[in-house]
Amino acid sequence: MSNSLTGNKKPFRLITIPVSHYCEKVRWALTKLKVPYIEEPHLPLFHLLATGRVGGKSTPVLITEASTFTDSTEILRYLDKVAPDNAKLYPTHPDSRRQVEQLEDLFDEQLGPATRRWIYFHTMNNSKLMQRTWCNGVPFVEGVLFPVVFPIVRSIVRQKLNITQESDAQDYEQIKSIFKQVSELLADGRTYLVGNSFSAADLTFAALATPVVRPPEHPMSSASLEELPSKMVSEIKKFRETPAGAFALRLYHDRNY
């Protein structure tokens, strides 16, 4: 496939917090479109040193020869713009594209924050698990410093994301509500959420649902269900059994990595 994506001489740079499901969203898109890139993973807080140098704050940040992109949806739309016609992530038909963008916004704004808070609420007291989760592939110095900075980072993350007992209950209901909406869309037997082909809506849902369905094929998976709290495992199994959960697992199983 000859195009401006696969033909670029210099690989893109992708700055990530490796376990971040928003980073996973971009990682999936880059891989699907066969775009050469180099991932630069960082421990939370340390990532600010890397993103700050290029004008970003949160991850993911994609650095190309054309520009620097600092939002997962902005990145997907850039990739779609320069992708060949047979590899688009957004439909060309205006109505279909609008549906994809509306679903992507729903997942970005509501599902992603809820699943992130939900998993951190259940796992952040397990320092060994968090070390494997946060330090996957990060620079050596960051990994060595983890025991020192973890209590500080954990406190900041809890405060910034407002992770509390009350937020956990609210997030759980939010996730169930969105899974119900997706399950209802799939009730007519469709293969994808919009139209007859894989789109940014499918990719975004599957990537941002990963904390609550734990697909075995996830490239950054770092824990088996046996290592997780029993209440969390019970809820994961319930989410997996829904049509929406099964859909996310199928997309992971079927993708080419």
Sorted by where each begins, the domain ranges of the chain are 12-87, 94-254
- Strand 37-41, strand 61-63: pairing: unpaired
Binned at pLDDT 50, 70 and 90, residue 1 comes out as very low
Name the CATH code of domain 12-87 (choices 3.30.300.30, 3.90.180.10, 3.40.50.300, 3.40.30.10).
3.40.30.10
pLDDT at 191 over 50: yes
Across the chain, what does the average pLDDT equal? 93
15 near 51, Cβ under 8 Å? Answer: yes
The predicted structure's pLDDT at residue 230: 92
Angle CA 245–250–253, to nearest 5: 130
Residues comprising the chain, all counted: 257
pLDDT for res 227: 84
Is 3.30.420 the CATH classification of the domain at 94-254? Answer: no
Tokens 């599957």 belong to which residue?
206
The DSSP secondary-structure symbol of 214 reads: -
Provide the pairing of β-strand 61-63 with 12-16.
antiparallel
What H or E segment, with its residue span, contains residue 62? strand 61-63
Residue 2: is its pLDDT beyond 60? no
> With bands split at pLDDT 50, 70 and 90, how would you rate the model's confidence at 223?
low
Q: 6 φ, ψ to 5°?
A: -75, -20
| Comparison of pLDDT for 3 and 223, the residue scoring more | 223
Fold agreement between 12-87 and 94-254: no
H or E segment and range at residue 213:
helix 210-213
pTM over 0.85: yes
